[in-house]
Amino acid sequence: MARIALGIEYDGTDFVGWQLQRQGRSVQAEVEAAIGTVADAFVRIQGSGRTDAGVHAAQQVVHFDTAARRTPRQWLLGINANLPADVAIQWVHEVRGDFDARRSAIWRRYRYSILQQAVRSSLARRRSWWLREPLDCAAMTRASLAWLGENDFSAFRAAGCQSLSPIRRFMGFRIRVRGSLLELDFQANAFLHHMVRNLVGALVEIGRGRQQASWAGQLMSSGDRTLGGVTAPAHGLTLMQIAYPTHFGLPYQAVPLGDGA
Q: Report d(CA 118, CA 129) in Å as an integer.
A: 13
- The pLDDT value recorded for residue 173 is 97
Name which of 26, 36, 51 is nearest 4 in CA terms.
Answer: 36
Name which of 107, 146, 117 is nearest 259 in CA terms.
Answer: 107
Q: Are residues 81 and 191 in the same domain?
A: no
Q: Are residues 111 and 236 in the same domain?
A: yes
Distance of CA 106 to the CA centre of its chain: 14
The stretch 136-149 carries a mean pLDDT of 97
Q: If you write DSSP's letter for every residue of the chain in order, what string do you get?
A: -EEEEEEEEE-GGGSSBSS--SSS--HHHHHHHHHHHHHTS----EES---BTT-EEEEEEEEEEES----HHHHHHHHHHTS-TTEEEEEEEEE-TT--TTTT--EEEEEEEEEESSS--SSSTTTSEEESS---HHHHHHHHGGG-EEEE-GGGS-TT---S--EEEEEEEEEEEETTEEEEEEEES---TTHHHHHHHHHHHHHTTSS-TTHHHHHHHHT-GGGS-PPPPGGGEEEEEEE--GGG--SS-PPPTTTT-
Give the residue numbers marked as catalytic.
Answer: 52
- The pLDDT value recorded for residue 259 is 65
- The pLDDT value recorded for residue 161 is 87
pLDDT in tens, 191-239: 999 999 999 999 999 999 999 999 999 999 999 999 998 999 999 999 9
- Out of 53, 77, 104, a domain closes at 104
Q: Are residues 93 and 197 in the same domain?
A: no
Q: Are residues 81 and 203 in the same domain?
A: no
- Out of 81, 104, 127, a domain closes at 104
Strands 107-116 and 2-10: unpaired
Decide if 207 is inside a domain.
Answer: yes
Decide if 258 is inside a domain.
Answer: no
Q: Are residues 111 and 189 in the same domain?
A: yes
Distance of CA 166 to the CA centre of its chain: 18
Longest dimension (CA), the chain: 58
Whether the per-residue pLDDT at 261 is higher than 90: the answer is no
Range of 47's domain? 2-104
Structural domain count of the chain: 2
- Point out the least confidently predicted range of 10-14, 37-41, 159-163: 159-163
Strands 2-10 and 87-95: antiparallel
Q: If you write DSSP's letter for every residue of 31-97 in order, what string do you get?
A: HHHHHHHHHTS----EES---BTT-EEEEEEEEEEES----HHHHHHHHHHTS-TTEEEEEEEEE-T
Residue, of 101 and 255, whose pLDDT is higher: 101
Decide if 46 is inside a domain.
Answer: yes
Q: Are residues 142 and 155 in the same domain?
A: yes
